[in-house]
Amino acid sequence: MTALADYTPEQQQLIQQTREVVAALHAELPRNELVVWTAGNVSQRVKGLDLFVIKPSGVSYDELSAETMVVCTLDGQKIDDGTPDELKPSSDTAAHAYVYANMDRVGGVVHTHSTYATAWAARGEEIPCVLTMMGDEFGGPIPVGPFAIIGDDSIGRGIVETLKDSRSRAVLMQNHGPFTIGSDAKDAVKAAVMVEEVARTVHISRQLGEPIPIPQQFIDQLYDRYQNVYGQK
């Protein structure tokens, strides 16, 4: 088993900093009402190393700390990171690991069971791009990924297959819920918050009538402006 002691002091410091970031970001999930009980998880790649940090399995959000975050290799194996042997990584670790191993651009992954996004996933229906916010953030509709069972890398394969050629940073895994990706964990958490917001808004819109689709040329303009002009660079 790979051990924390196998890394240089500088690398160990980077691992610790990543654990602190990931622990802090988990607070955003219940704060934004994206999870209940112990469901959901955040992970982040350790920059420059074939490692990532993820939430432990079945631990309450108010018990999470940098010290309880679990460090794993890109094949999903926990390293000897100083946490107790019985502290297992998230049950979604294999999915996160597969995404990191197969999508170099991804630095953070988030999974939630947020109510509205999961309701769309339960129907196996993509969220159509009928809001400028969706054009900005996701560059089009939010796609649906295949049904897959937790336990191996099947979910990760579905995420990669669905998002590898998509501008979307979110996928609704059928009958399961949303997974989001980002340049780092904060970026992926933002996408998780945004996918729930648009899932809720579009759902409410459909109760009033049929939402009006945004033409592709305007989606492209929205996405380009938001990604390259908006905000402080």
At a CB cut-off of 8 Å and minimum separation 6, what does 174 contact? 121, 124, 144, 145, 146, 147
83 in any annotated domain: yes
Q: What are residue 51's phi and psi, to 5 degrees?
A: -140, 155
Do 181 and 103 touch, CB atoms closer than 8 A? yes
Given pLDDT bands bounded at 50, 70 and 90, which one contains residue 192? very high
Say whether pLDDT at 212 is over 90. Answer: yes
233 in any annotated domain: no
CATH number at residue 223: 3.40.225.10
232 in any annotated domain: no
Q: Considering only CA atoms, which of 183, 185, 156 is closest in space to residue 171?
A: 156
Largest Cα–Cα distance in the chain? 60
195 in any annotated domain: yes
Q: 116 catalytic, yes or no? A: no
Mean pLDDT, the chain, as a whole number?
97
Do 177 and 196 touch, CB atoms closer than 8 A? no
197 in any annotated domain: yes
Distances (CA, A) of 109 to 5, 53, 99, 106, 171: 26, 10, 8, 8, 11
22 in any annotated domain: yes
The tokens for 63 are 């018990």
> Out of 136, 184, 220, 226, which one is annotated catalytic?
136
What integer is the mean pLDDT of 129-157?
Answer: 97
pLDDT, residue 83, reads 94
What integer is the mean pLDDT of 51-63?
Answer: 97
The total number of structural domains that make up the chain: 1
- Residues of the chain with pLDDT > 90: what percent? 96
Residue 152, sorted as left (phi over 0), alpha (psi -120 to 50) or beta, turns out to be beta
**What are 12-29's pLDDT values in tens digits?**
999 999 999 999 999 999
200 in any annotated domain: yes
> Out of 75, 152, 224, 230, which one is annotated catalytic?
230
Q: Domain range holding 123?
A: 4-227
Q: 61 catalytic, yes or no? A: no
26 in any annotated domain: yes
